[in-house]
Amino acid sequence: MFLMIIAVAWLPMLTTEKTAAASDYREQQAWYAAEAGYKRAVAALENKNNDWGWITKDADIQTSNFLHLGLDRGKVDQEKIWYAVGIMKDALDLSGTSEDNVAYQITSVGSCQGIRKVIRKVYTLGDNGESGGGGSGGEETLDLPGLVQAGGDVKVSDRQEGLFGGDLYGSKFHSDNNNSWIFDKPEYTAYMKGTYAGTLKTYIPDSIFLKNSYSPLVDIPADLVLEFGKNYFWDMSKLNSDWFVLHAEKSSGQVIFIDNKTAKNIKTNGIFGPSTGKPVTLIFTDNITIGGNIKGNVRMFFANNFTLENSGDAAGLIMIMANGQITIEASVEDGFLSSDKNITISNQLFRGQIQVKGNFTTNGTIHYSNAVLSAPGFTVPKGMN
């Protein structure tokens, strides 16, 4: 009887371990496939090939219309292990013979049984051909199935306007209002799927918040009008006044590293990122509350807690990731939220996707949209756990 009790207690743990191991295996195989595709692209460029019939057009990569290639370079079933590679020169898909001293943007997507990883790097002939990109150890795509993926409880309100449009995952589902009509409607409860089966990776690596991970950085100009192709360092102790405007419309794919130890609550008339293409990335090294408009394609990484006050909306494609609590008091159209603690959304509209290690609470309306995670450049740091 004693051994039977021990066996029954261990069975769920063994099942969980088996599921986690299988997920880790698929992720590793997907990364190997992405590396294989990247190295094939490098070899083809170095050999001055002019046959590019095997690569996938960049527009098709953005829409997931891949030419699926196996590790033996032959076409394969998309449910197996495969990679797809795109190569661009001067914002155009590559054709003709490759050239020396020309920068090529290589995007390699690897997949294993539905899990995908991405290597995206600018490569110039003569580079060492290593995979990855950036001083932080590279980046990868994040593929989430639903609207909310929570490790803890999911609390929704009766202020929902329209269906969720995407699944909700959590350990428990409940409401502030015991008589919430949502829990009496099968068209809403059908979205509540229980515990998330995948592995949530919500902790951003510490290296992301180290200044020396980014080189070179130039001091941000006093007028906060940023130039094309530059990464900036912003010491907010030198911030002259609140209600500033940050013009980062030309900073597609660039980084702004921000020391905000002395600025924990800032107001802005606008943080403006690029209207198209890759986002600008803002990295905050301490707790912060921001009030004001955020527009365009913007990624924001926070080492600790973050609050977006209700003094302006966030519109465009907005990625917000924090190792602390996230509190959203403004409306967010097409967003992605990730927290290593808890996330709370006030009585505002949020449209997008959410992952959170702890609990998720919304007092407003939430709707599913994968616009952010499917857009170019909205990758996450490799090595999250």
Q: How far is CA 63 from CA 2, 112, 277, 315, 349, in A?
A: 56, 18, 14, 22, 26
132: Cα separation from own chain's centroid: 16
C-alpha pair distances (Å), 13 with each of 16, 22, 153, 171, 181: 5, 14, 21, 16, 36
Using a pLDDT cut of 70, give the percent of the chain over it. Answer: 90
pLDDT (tens digit per residue) in 42-86:
888 888 887 888 888 888 877 777 777 776 556 666 677 889 898
Query: pLDDT of 160-197, one tens digit each?
Result: 999 999 999 999 998 877 768 899 899 999 999 999 98
How high is the pLDDT of residue 107?
A: 87
Residue 43 in tokens: 């070899």
User: Residue 348: is its pLDDT beyond 60?
Assistant: yes
pLDDT digits (tens, 9 = 90+) for 319-347: 999 999 999 999 999 999 999 999 999 99
Using one digit for the tens of pLDDT, what is the confidence trace for 126-137?
544 333 333 335
Q: Which candidate, 329, 359, 333, 369, places its Cα nearest to that of 347?
A: 329
Q: Which of 80, 27, 82, 32 is nearest to 56 (CA)?
A: 82
Is residue 115 over pLDDT 60?
Answer: yes
239 vs 54, 262, 263, 375, CA distance in Å? 51, 10, 8, 32
**Strand 103-112 relative to strand 115-124: parallel, antiparallel, unpaired?**
antiparallel
**pTM, two decimal places:** 0.68
Average confidence score pLDDT of the chain: 87
SS3 290: strand
